[in-house]
Amino acid sequence: MSNIIDSSVTSSMNAIAGGGSARESDELRENFMTLLITQLQNQDPLNPMENAEMTSQLAQINTVSGIEELNSTLAGITGQIDAGHTLQAAGLIGQGVLVPGDRILVGKDGATPFGIELDKSADNVKATIRDGGGQVVRSFDIGAVSSGVESFEWDGKLDSGEMAPEGAYRISFEATSGDDSVDAKALNYAVVSGVSSDNNGSPRLDLGGINEQATLEDIRQILRL
């Protein structure tokens, strides 16, 4: 009988830890108590259950209840965190941000900013801009760049000195430190136009300028307009 009770407790703990409903855990807890009472009623009078054994089994069912309460508390904390993230994301609406990507947009008012993310400092960084067909239209040296995130602006001029036609362009980098290459990630500019939620309730930033979405973790830098 004791093995059956232990198995019932284990099932209860597994069900709760695995996200089982409160109704399921209540049923398992009731089954446990029924088995315990049955064991007490049918125990051998000459060999009764020891206090230590009963205390151990009661402690196990209390553990089951504790896990359930802990899961409920964690769910509440997670909800509060998600709400805080959503509020934080809403504060970015209308702001310019740098997110992973290599796109530069050229319009009547000039070119959008771009950024670079380096794992370590580089002695020299060379930027190359290509048009939609992959042809190089501009290349220039940025110089030394510290590790982390830095933002820059392109004047919109081609290598010929003429202004680039309106449209979308791509930027790439070659970064070196001495004779070693440095990993360089391109960042593109976007304006946060709205906030939505994914299936888990986490906020998603709508980047209307490039018709994409990003998470708060994708934001590398906020550029005040």
Over residues 168-214, the pLDDT tens digits come to 999 999 999 999 999 999 999 999 888 887 777 778 888 875 558 88
Residue 75 structure tokens: 């769910």
Identify the pLDDT of residue 4: 45
Assign 152 to helix, strand or coil: strand
Q: What's the number of CA atoms in the CB half-sphere (13 Å) around residue 217? A: 1
Identify the pLDDT of residue 214: 87
Q: What is the mean pLDDT of residues 22-43?
A: 65
Q: How many CB atoms lie within 10 A of CB 149?
A: 15
For 34, 172, 179, 181, the CA distances from 175, given in Å and listed in that order, are: 70, 10, 10, 6
Those residues whose C-beta lies under 8 Å from the C-beta of residue 118, and which sit 6 or more positions away, are 125, 145, 146, 147, 148, 150, 175, 182, 183, 184, 185
Residue with tokens 């796109």: 103
Of 38-42, 77-81, 84-88, where does the model show the most confidence? 38-42
Q: What is the DSSP string of 133-173?
A: TS-EEEEEEEEEE-SEEEEE----B-TTSSBPPSEEEEEEE
Poorest-pLDDT segment among 115-119, 138-142, 147-151, 206-210: 206-210
Q: What is the mean pLDDT of residues 48-71?
A: 61
Poorest-pLDDT segment among 27-31, 78-82, 144-148, 214-218: 78-82
Q: Which residue has the higher pLDDT, 103 or 54?
A: 103
* pTM (predicted TM-score): 0.61
**What is the chain's Cα-based Rg?**
31
pLDDT at 18 over 60: no
Assign 120 to helix, strand or coil: coil
Residue 205 structure tokens: 């930033």
